[in-house]
Chain A
């Protein structure tokens, strides 16, 4: 049951550009869920081959030391005890560098999210404002919202798609236009703009949807894993 749940989540939420490392059984389940075989790397004992993957799927049988070494970043988890399955980001540059990048990204998200709250072209609910201040919104979403705000005025009705069993990080946003008369046109134009992007700013899903209130909205969703460092400046060597 847990494996099926994890498989469905990975198939729906992990980028089709990401290589997934998994046990032979889990890889087979993922293929059955529609994940392309070309995306899957079978892990040997002790996470052998993990560095060829972007994310790995682990079970409790894998030692904590190996997990900490190869994949310290928890993306999602399912179940508990002996049946617990974790989806983790692979740290190719080493665990220490990964942890530092995580901390830096978290700080940048909090700062950028707080700046977005000053933006007169975007309105947020109180709960979403708190999420922005807490650094719980994906950096791709932050940049996309900031870019859209340079052209359109809109309201964020909700953030969503935080992964289960991991630190909150919302990768999905729904927005409505509050410009009278041109709201539908603005949403369509905003949809076109996000679809014109390339990775990492190309959403996994974007569409005009209808809310329960009957209002049209634009929904944008990014896939896992969330890239680190998009908001921070690339630093070249200084002497």
Chain B
């Protein structure tokens, strides 16, 4: 069943990506699969509410609500690709998976996309009910020869989680929905360790010099798990580190398929062609992005 769902998602994603040239050319939409102008901002969306069901997420430009950016079937732990959005104000509407676009969204929320290639993570957080949206500004300028990393605590099962990478402490007793500042750590392969009361999970993680990462601590059926997102890397094409972790990081992976890699390659080509910075563009094949009209 899970495999069928995954395949259905991949199929949708591939179809949408196939039509992305039309999106880039732009029907007056605010979002595209590649940046149309250097001043566009970047936004990725994360579902980090363990108790909330799968959702469809809509980003409506204040000035053009007829053309929202829509992400379908976003489940706990899912993080979308970075999407290029025109600078400006947006409202966020979260609806249950499959709910019609004419239905009432769960809550009103608003955020602003800045100019100059600023990047943001927009996260649905909190218990359900009590869902809220938080926006974090992402680091998009990788430090030369260094690695920046931060931690988001999205486990509701554990009140406080301590996270380290190698010998570096990244987060101490981090509470749910908290995010740490970026910290500098050495490049290489080191152990990411998450500890909570009676819980100790580890994972070997490779971090490449000149890259920026966000580690998300998640609940799983067996305890804590982590997802490593590449926020930025120092090249125009998909960074190796990003590709290695970009399809789910340390989260349980779906069966191997060439389709996600194809998505990454095409997205990377689009980004390079448009002169994009080296942002990690795709992380998970399951979340589909498109623009919709009424």
- A interface residues with partner B (beta carbon < 8 Å): 108, 111-112, 115-121, 139, 142-144, 146-147, 149-151, 189, 192-193, 196-198, 201, 230-239
Could you write out 29 A-B pairs with CB less than 8 Å apart? Answer: A112-B62, A112-B89, A115-B61, A115-B62, A115-B89, A117-B63, A118-B64, A119-B62, A120-B66, A139-B110, A143-B91, A143-B108, A143-B110, A146-B89, A147-B108, A150-B60, A150-B65, A198-B130, A201-B109, A231-B89, A233-B120, A234-B134, A235-B137, A236-B179, A237-B182, A238-B137, A239-B139, A239-B181, A239-B182
Chain A proximity mask over B104-127: 1 for CB below 8 Å, otherwise 0: 110111111110000010000000
Query: Is the CB of B210 closer than 8 A to any CB of chain A?
Result: no
User: Which A residues lie within 8 Å of B89 (CB)?
Assistant: 108, 111-112, 115, 142, 146, 231
- Chain B residue nearest to A145 (CB atoms) is B62
- Chain B residue nearest to A119 (CB atoms) is B63
Chain A proximity mask over B176-192: 1 for CB below 8 Å, otherwise 0: 00010111100000000
User: Which A residues lie within 8 Å of B65 (CB)?
Assistant: 119, 121, 146, 149-150
Total of A-B residue pairs, C-beta within 8 Å: 106
User: Which B residues lie within 8 Å of A121 (CB)?
Assistant: 65-66
Q: How far is the CB of B192 from the nearest CB of chain A, in Å?
A: 20
Asked whether, in the complex, the Cβ of A236 is within 8 Å of the Cβ of B137, the reply is: yes
Query: Is the CB of B88 closer than 8 A to any CB of chain A?
Result: yes
Distance A236 CA – B121 CA, assembled complex (angstroms): 11
User: Which A residues lie within 8 Å of B139 (CB)?
Assistant: 238-239
Query: Is the CB of B58 closer than 8 A to any CB of chain A?
Result: yes
User: Which B residues lie within 8 Å of A239 (CB)?
Assistant: 139, 143, 148, 181-184
Chain A contact surface mostly:
loop
Asked whether, in the complex, the Cβ of B91 is within 8 Å of the Cβ of A150, the reply is: yes
Known: A112-B62, A233-B112, A236-B179. 8 other contacts (CB 8 A): A116-B62, A118-B64, A233-B113, A233-B114, A235-B137, A237-B182, A238-B139, A238-B181
Distance A190 CA – B173 CA, assembled complex (angstroms): 42
Interface residues of B in 133-152 (CB under 8 A from A): 134-137, 139, 143, 148, 150
Asked whether, in the complex, the Cβ of A147 is within 8 Å of the Cβ of B181, the reply is: no
Asked whether, in the complex, the Cβ of A147 is within 8 Å of the Cβ of B91, the reply is: yes
- Chain B residue nearest to A197 (CB atoms) is B108
Asked whether, in the complex, the Cβ of B110 is within 8 Å of the Cβ of A146, the reply is: yes
- Chain A residue nearest to B132 (CB atoms) is A198
Whether A144 contacts B108 in the complex (CB less than 8 A), given A118-B64, A231-B89, comes out as: yes
Query: How many residues of B sit at the interface, in one of the four size bands?
Result: 35 or more
User: Which A residues lie within 8 Å of B109 (CB)?
Assistant: 143, 201
Asked whether, in the complex, the Cβ of A147 is within 8 Å of the Cβ of B105, the reply is: yes
Whether A238 contacts B182 in the complex (CB less than 8 A), given A146-B62, A233-B120, comes out as: yes
Distance A231 CA – B88 CA, assembled complex (angstroms): 10
User: Which A residues lie within 8 Å of B184 (CB)?
Assistant: 239
Q: How far is the CB of A128 from the nearest CB of chain B, in Å?
A: 15
Query: Is the CB of B93 closer than 8 A to any CB of chain A?
Result: yes
Asked whether, in the complex, the Cβ of B107 is within 8 Å of the Cβ of A198, the reply is: yes
User: Which A residues lie within 8 Å of B120 (CB)?
Assistant: 233
Query: Is the CB of B102 closer than 8 A to any CB of chain A?
Result: yes
- Chain A residue nearest to B181 (CB atoms) is A237
